[in-house]
Amino acid sequence: MDAVQLSIFANRLSGICEEMGALLRRCAFSPNIKDRLDFSCAIFDADGELCAQAAHIPVHLGSMAYAMRDLVSGRDWQPGALLVVNDPYLGGTHLPDVTVVAPVFGLGERPLAFAVTRAHHANIGATAPGSMPVSRHLEEEGEVIAPQWLRRDGAWQQALVQRLAGGAMDPEHSPRFGDFVAQASACEAGAGWLATLVSERGEHWIQDGVAALNAYGERLAGQMIAAIPDGCYHFADVLDDDGQGTVDIPVVVTVTIAGARAQVDFTGTAPQVPGNINCPLSVAAAAVYYCFRCLLPPAVPACAGLFRPVSLSAPEGSLVNARRPAAVAAGNVETSSRIVDAVLGALSQAMPERIPAASQGSMNNLAMGQGAQPGQPGWDYYETMGGGMGASAQADGLSAVQTHMTNTLNTPIESLERHYPLRVWRYALRRGSGGAGAQTGGDGLVRELEFLAPAQVTLLTERRRHAPWGLAGGQPGALGENQLNGEPLPGKVSFQAMPGDRLRVASAGGGGFGRS
């Protein structure tokens, strides 16, 4: 393919991913998917190599790129089949993120490609509402779905459907299962659109296109890495705690640049901990891939070739390469953020003018709900909250945004108050929380909720003990804060809220850059 043909090919595939995302959003039931957009869509080739994605959630997409090959290989794929999985140790991230895979067939018996969605489900059967508990074991975090058929020969697998619907009397039409139906519909639509393209252009079109796209991506990534001075760059950062008594948990990284190759090694990182900030290696890979992807031009199409010049290693049984059955609910959201901080901190030594100071470093996870009561249905809710972005040599950090490994929206106040027994009293910039410097870090947010009914609440937050660092003499951003009725709360905590209680979450500011 020449450059024009390759651009058309890449944009046709990424356009299908965008359409899949639009369909998933329109069909979903939960505010978590239809309002916050906590989902991702991608296309993989016959071998499970990434060939296109929409601009959705980095931690979803990078982990899928790392692990999809093992998920799709060696299976008896047939038209009408759908595979479902959420097991973090078999290619997932954490249990609420459920992946659905649909095959794309041409004239042969082997799939030509796969259409994939991953979406966050606020109720996956955990021990606490919102399915983000302060947990110690994987089984406390919800239903573990090993890779299995969700549909086979065009028919739903009823035993699995019943489990995913939480035992509803009419599982296929329950709101809880409705989000799975939305994912399935988006996958099948994407597979259908791609199959139509293949029938128009021929099977060689996608095979040749994927090969050309990967060669192009690998060449660009190699050139980008070769522009970084050769050397070993070391950085260490810490997580506040694991919610189970372990504090000041180090994440250590060494980035070795040698020509057009980069090696990222996590030797020195803490062993896995009792709490749920552990993560599987696929999540660590997603964070590493994200950092290097940020150094490439924005228009570079996503493909497996982009990641080939980057390799990573982490001690088995460590915080970033945990062994089953370690709890991982917050590893996907909080530890992935700290991995980004550590990798960017190392790269800042090699290219100080291109790397920003630390951003807020937390997704500020808030999960809550209440089980069903006589005459009252239960409810589950989950949200994350933006904060300050780190400043760079070129500009101040942005304020009140999601940073790095997440790319979701907030839940609009109107939707939140309509669906749940909550009232929003305050949602505002946290003025002055960005770190000072020649370039100022972005400000965080303040969100204050009042409970109108009893609720069990879980907070999984970071940067409450260790502030986001500045660079080149810039000051750190302000620490985040959690309060209930004006009294401080730990960064990771579960509690019972009563009507009239007010929860205030203030996110951290970004670090400043340069001396003011």
d(CA 397, CA 361): 13
What are the φ and ψ backbone dihedral angles of 252, each rounded to 5 degrees? -115, 135
Q: What is the pLDDT of residue 78?
A: 94
Q: Are residues 31 and 180 in the same domain?
A: yes
Residues 298-305 have a mean pLDDT of: 88
The pLDDT value given to residue 54: 86
CA angle in degrees (0–180, nearest 5) for 89-95-101: 75
pLDDT on residue 154: 85
Q: Would 466 be classed as within a structural domain? A: yes
- Each as own residue / partner, the long-range contacts of residues 20-24 (CB below 8 Å, 24 or more positions apart, any chain) are 20/54, 20/115, 20/117, 20/186, 20/187, 20/189, 20/190, 21/54, 21/56, 21/186, 23/182, 23/185, 23/186, 23/189, 24/117, 24/119, 24/182, 24/183, 24/185, 24/186
Query: Which structure tokens are listed for 513?
Result: 């850059």
Distance from C-alpha of 38 to C-alpha of 409, rounded to nearest angstrom: 8
Overall average pLDDT of the 256-276 stretch: 98
Provide CB contacts within 8 A for 293, sequence distance 6+. 58, 302, 306
Tell me, what's the pLDDT at 70?
86
Tell me which of 183, 200, 217 is where a domain ends: 217
Beta-sheet strands, E only, within 72-165:
82-85, 97-104, 113-120, 148-152, 155-156
474-504, pLDDT tens digit by residue?
A: 999 999 999 999 999 999 999 999 999 999 9
In a domain, residue 427? The reply is yes
Within this chain, do residues 202 and 53 fall inside the same structural domain, yes or no?
yes
CB 272 within 8 Å of CB 278: yes
Does residue 234 lie in a domain region?
A: no
Of residues 120 and 167, more confidence is placed in 120
* R_g of the chain computed on alpha carbons: 22
Tell me the CA distances in angstroms from 333 to 23, 43, 243, 283, 440, one per residue in order: 25, 23, 14, 9, 25
Q: Is 146 part of a structural domain of the chain?
A: yes
Cis peptide preceding 325, ω within 30 of 0: yes
* Distance, CA of 495 to chain centre: 25
Query: How do residues 395-422 score in pLDDT, each as one tens digit?
Result: 999 999 999 998 888 889 999 999 999 9
**Residue 137 near residue 118 (C-beta atoms within 8 A):** no
Over residues 4-54, the pLDDT tens digits come to 999 999 999 999 999 999 999 999 999 989 999 999 999 999 999 999 998
Q: Is residue 237 part of a domain?
A: no
**Centroid of chain to Cα 136:** 21
What pLDDT, on a 0 to 100 scale, did the predictor assign at position 24?
96
| Domain presence at residue 118 | yes
Any bridge partners for residue 249, and if so which?
239
In the chain the first and final C-alpha atoms are separated, in Å, by: 51
Rounded Cα distance, 17 and 189, in Å:
10
Q: Which residue has the tokens 């020195």?
A: 268
Comparing C-alpha atoms, which of 133, 113, 131 is closest to residue 121? 131
User: Is residue 501 situated within a structural domain?
Assistant: yes
- Average pLDDT in the chain: 94
Q: Which of 2-16, 101-115, 170-184, 489-503 has the highest mean pLDDT?
A: 489-503
User: For the chain, what is the domain count?
Assistant: 2
- Please write the tens of the pLDDT for every residue from 337-393: 999 999 999 999 999 999 999 999 999 999 999 987 776 778 999 999 999 999 999
The closest of 506, 470, 510 to 491, measured between CA atoms, is 506
The pLDDT of 306-335, averaged and rounded, is 97
Question: Sorting pLDDT into bands at 50, 70 and 90, what band is 439?
Answer: very high
Phi, psi of 408 (to 5 degrees): -90, 165
What's the confidence (pLDDT) of residue 373?
Answer: 72
DSSP of 346-380: HHHHH-TTTPPPP------EEEEEE--BTTB--EE
Q: Which residues contact 261 (CB under 8 A, 6 or more apart)?
A: 222, 225, 309, 310, 311
User: Which residue, of 172, 197, 217, is where some domain finishes?
Assistant: 217
Q: What percent of the chain has pLDDT over 90?
A: 86
Q: Which amino acid is at 272?
A: Q
In the prediction, which pLDDT does 168 show? 74
So what's the pLDDT on residue 56?
A: 76
Q: How many CB atoms lie within 10 A of CB 450?
A: 16
Which residue range(s) make up the domain with 187? Answer: 3-217
Nearest Cα to 196, choosing from 186, 211, 206, 184?
206
Judge whether 274 lies within some domain: no
One-letter amino acid of 400? A
Do the Cβ atoms of 282 and 321 come closer than 8 Å?
Answer: no
- For residue 174, name the pLDDT band (cuts at 50, 70, 90): confident
Q: Is the pTM of this model over 0.75?
A: yes
The last residue of one of the domains, among 217, 245, 276, is 217
At 426 the pLDDT is: 97
How many CB atoms neighbour CB 387 within 10 A? 36
pLDDT of res. 77? 95
Q: How buried is 251 (Cβ within 10 angstroms: 0-12 exposed, 13-18 middle, 19+ buried)?
A: buried
Integer CA distances (angstroms), 483 to 235, 268, 402, in order: 32, 34, 21
Residue 190 near residue 41, CB atoms below 8 Å: yes
Query: Among 120-134, 365-379, 420-434, where is mean pLDDT lowest?
Result: 365-379
Max CA distance (Å), the chain: 66
* Position 108 pLDDT exceeds 90: no
- Give pLDDT, residue 266: 98
Burial 30-42 (b: 16+ CB within 10 A, else e): bbbbbbbbbbbbb
Please compute the mean of the pLDDT values over residues 147-157 and round it to a whole number: 93
Q: What is the mean pLDDT of residues 215-240?
A: 97
pLDDT at residue number 295: 95
What tokens does 409 get? 């929206």
